[in-house]
Amino acid sequence: MTDPPNFTDPYEAILYDRYTAEEIAEVQQLIAAWDQATYPTLPSSIVKHAQKHGFTEDYLRYLRKANNFNKKGARKKSLPDGATRWNKGREFLIERNSKIVTYGEND
């Protein structure tokens, strides 16, 4: 049996909780495409945005959906802070400097 990972950021523990080693590797791969924006750490940004958009405790699903967002046919809008918002159907994705800031689904 291996020792559990030692997370220095409490949001890392939340982000990786209940995932297998393979799923944790996928999470780590997917978060490379993200920007921490105004949050102190990248894991805190992802956890907070996922919770805000209804993906509490399903962070891998949130990351997968954001990563799979298809911009083809999406409406593009430049935001005052330099970010770009993409809207397609009920979904939206916000990026800054080619990194994902947030993803969500409108009601």
Ramachandran assignment for 64, one of left (phi > 0), alpha (psi -120 to 50 degrees), beta (any other)? alpha
**pLDDT given for residue 106 in this prediction:** 84
For the chain, percent of residues with pLDDT exceeding 70: 94
> For the chain, which residues make up each domain, given as ranges?
10-105
- Check whether 1 has a pLDDT greater than 80: no
Say what the pTM is: 0.89
Quick: pLDDT tens for 4-44. Answer: 456 788 999 999 999 999 999 999 999 999 999 899 999 99
Q: Quick count: other Cβ atoms within 10 Å of Cβ 16?
A: 19
Tell whether the torsion through CA atoms of 14, 99, 53 and 91 is positive or negative: negative
Contact status, residue 7 vs residue 40, Cβ threshold 8 Å: no
Mean pLDDT of 46-51: 96
Torsion of CA 15, 66, 49, 76, to 10 degrees: 160
**pLDDT given for residue 68 in this prediction:** 97
